[in-house]
Structures are given as C-alpha cells and as structure tokens.
Amino acid sequence: FFREDFTARSASVRVRFGAGIRAAVSEEMDNLGVSRALILTTPQQSDMADEFANYCGAKAVGRFTGAAMHTPVDVSEQATDLARRLGADVLISVGGGSTTGLGKAIALRTDLPQIVVPTTYAGSEATGILGQTENGVKTTLTSAKVQPEVILYDAELVATLPLSMTVTSALNAMAHAAEGLYARDRSPISSLMAVEGLRAFRDSLPKVLADPGNLTARGETLYGAWLCGTVLGQVGMALHHKLCHTLGGSFDLPHAETHAIILPHAIAFNASAVPDLLAPLADLFGTSSGFGAGTGLWQFAKSAGAPLSLRDLGLVEADLDRATDLATANPYWNPRPVTKDGIRRLLQAAWAGDRPD
C-alpha cells in the first residue's frame, strides 16, 4: 500500500470494545470530566434510553427519543434546545447512523462532546461527517466539531439486530472500505484498515448468520464496522456513494439496502479502471472462485441473503433514466470516467438484480 506521496490524517478518538462495555459509559463520562448527560435514541429504541439512564444514575439529566432518518434540521433544533435547557455537558447517542447523526447535529450547534454506542454497522460514529435534511434537501458537511470523542462497541447490542439489517448494514460498512481502496487521498494506513475491515466482515458475517447470538463473531463485525467507518472518515468516496446518495435522496430508497444492492455493481464498474487497487478486494471475495472484485462481492451478498435488485425496493424501471441524469448531472471524481451510458447500464443491472460482469 506504499505510495511515494501521501497525507495521512486521523482523529483523536477513544474506542473501547467488549461484550457489556456499554456499562462503562459512566466511567467514560468521568474520564471526559462531564456530569450532565443527554441520552439520544430513536423512538424504536427508547428502551435503550432507559437502560443508559440507569448506567448514568444522577449524571443522566434527560433523554430525547426522537432521532429520525436523514437528520431533519427541525428535530436537531428541538433536541439542541433541550440540551441547552437542561445544561447538558455531554451527548450519549445509542443507536444506528440516524441517532449518531442527531448527536453530531447537536454537537455542531453546541460543541458538546459525544459518547456514541453503535447498534448497527453504518460507521457514522467514526467520522466527522454530518448529513442533514431541510425542506427535502440533504446537505453534507465535515467538521472536527461533529467527530465523536468516545465510541463504545458492545457486541451485545448488535446481537439483537435482525438478520436482514445485519446483512445490509454490513454491506453498507463494506462499501466505505471498498471505495477507500481507490480514493485519491488514500494513505497506506487507510488502505490497511480497508482491507482488514473487509476481511473482518468476510470472516464474521457467515458465522453471525449461522448463529446470530455468537458474541465473538458479532464483536468481529463491529471491529469491521469501526475500520470501515474510520476509512470513510479519512478519505473521499466516489461513484458508489454518489449513486446511493442520489437513489436515497431522490427516490426515497432505504439507506443500507440501497448500499447493499449497488456495491457489487459500482465496484465491478470501477474494477476495469483500477484492477491493481481493487486486487486485495478480489483476493478476499473472488479470486479463489474465479470471480473478480464486483462479482465476488455480488456472490458474497447473495449467499448472505442480501437484497439484490432495486426493483425489490420499489424503484420502477421508468425511473432509471432520471436516476442516471441525476447521478451524472454534477461532475465528480471517480477512477473510471462516469458516462451516461455506463451508469444507465449499471443501474439497469442493479435494478434487475443481475450479476455484474
């Protein structure tokens, strides 16, 4: 992974792993020198807010259980008001990317520190990136203010993640690492993390599917999520993330499922331009069975029971032309030139659920 010229950057984050490590949240508050926690969850995970209030005891000053998909600005402002009214000095986000997004949105407005306890593999906890929506428009920003200070990866919390979400969320995480391998601003360290993150999912996901409560295997999936999320925080993404952003934003397709379906196609598209950079991915998923990087990923996703076609998410074939126009409207960097024809063909295959070439 050596390059002659590179710039490496990394955030200052404290990360702890372990089944049951969530109970250390109070100790982590002490380490940060804070004593007034606002606990954040989605409505579906409000029981986690109760559990964390118990761990924090008198140091829990409030809870906000209204985290929502795509981090709507009005919800963030409501939660920020609450944080200010309560005099909170730390945010504890327990959940997936939506809850982490809410914590980041409050941190952006208040500069409060964040302790994040992830319950999916999305990886937002490991980045300084925040996506927000206002009036149906999603914008993304990067700021040190939103980078969480502490992450507690607790295998027990993902052990209850339904299997369909386990698979799509894992592929969502793997997409960060896969695109990280050819990022223009990659460093030897980001590439090492990307390959190890992909390897961790390749080895642990089948074990989790065979035995969803296997805490060792669940722990390894979280390890993969951390590595893949860290790559996302360090380097720029390309075609795959652009397509998912377009499909999610303009056609309201679900986040993790869309990533799962698009990933093999985007990687197959780019593999012809950067075969050497994607060789480690091909070696992990394809070479031994005679497949390339994209086809190998498609086989892996299929054998894990992932959704394979955009049609199954409700996208109609007539939308593919508009999706192509939107995804190619603003030029952006990608290792292979993005043409309308190429993207239309890619989307057609992903819509139909065909194996990429």
Interface ranges with ligand NAD (CB under 6 A): 42, 44-45, 69-70, 95-99, 101, 119-120, 122-124, 127, 129-131, 157-158, 160-161, 169, 232, 255-256
Contacts of 65 (CB under 8 A, 6+ apart): 40, 41, 42, 43, 45, 46, 49
Query: In what helix (H) or strand (E) does residue 15 lie, and over which residues does it extend?
Result: strand 14-17
Query: In what helix (H) or strand (E) does residue 55 lie, and over which residues does it extend?
Result: helix 46-56
| Closest separation in Å from C-beta 216 to ligand NAD | 17
| Closest separation in Å from C-beta 119 to ligand NAD | 4
Contacts of 259 (CB under 8 A, 6+ apart): 168, 171, 172, 175, 240, 244
The C-alpha angle with vertex 200 and arms to 199 and 204, in degrees rounded to 5, equals: 120
Please identify, using beta-carbon distances, which residue of 232 and 310 lies nearer to ligand NAD.
232
Please identify, using beta-carbon distances, which residue of 59 and 241 lies nearer to ligand NAD.
241
Contacts of 66 (CB under 8 A, 6+ apart): 42, 43, 75, 78, 79
| Closest separation in Å from C-beta 99 to ligand NAD | 6
Please identify, using beta-carbon distances, which residue of 259 and 265 lies nearer to ligand NAD.
259
Please identify, using beta-carbon distances, which residue of 71 and 295 lies nearer to ligand NAD.
71
Distance CA 318, CA 322 (A): 8
**What phi and psi values does residue 167 have, to the nearest 5 degrees?**
-70, -50
Shortest-Cβ-distance residue relative to ligand NAD: 97
Distance CA 249, CA 18 (A): 35
| Closest separation in Å from C-beta 67 to ligand NAD | 7
Please identify, using beta-carbon distances, which residue of 229 and 296 lies nearer to ligand NAD.
229
Please identify, using beta-carbon distances, which residue of 115 and 122 lies nearer to ligand NAD.
122
| Closest separation in Å from C-beta 121 to ligand NAD | 7
Rounded-to-5 percentages of helix, strand, coil across the chain: 60, 10, 30
Q: Partners of 91 in the beta sheet? A: 38, 114
Q: Which of 291, 245, 302 is nearest to 268 (CA)?
A: 291
| Closest separation in Å from C-beta 129 to ligand NAD | 4
Q: How is the beta sheet containing 60-64 ordered, strand by strand?
A: 14-17, 150-153, 114-118, 90-95, 37-40, 60-64
| Closest separation in Å from C-beta 295 to ligand NAD | 25
Distance CA 189, CA 235 (A): 11
| Closest separation in Å from C-beta 355 to ligand NAD | 25
- Cα pseudo-dihedral 286, 292, 293, 294, rounded to 10: -110
Please identify, using beta-carbon distances, which residue of 165 and 192 lies nearer to ligand NAD.
165
Please identify, using beta-carbon distances, which residue of 107 and 130 lies nearer to ligand NAD.
130
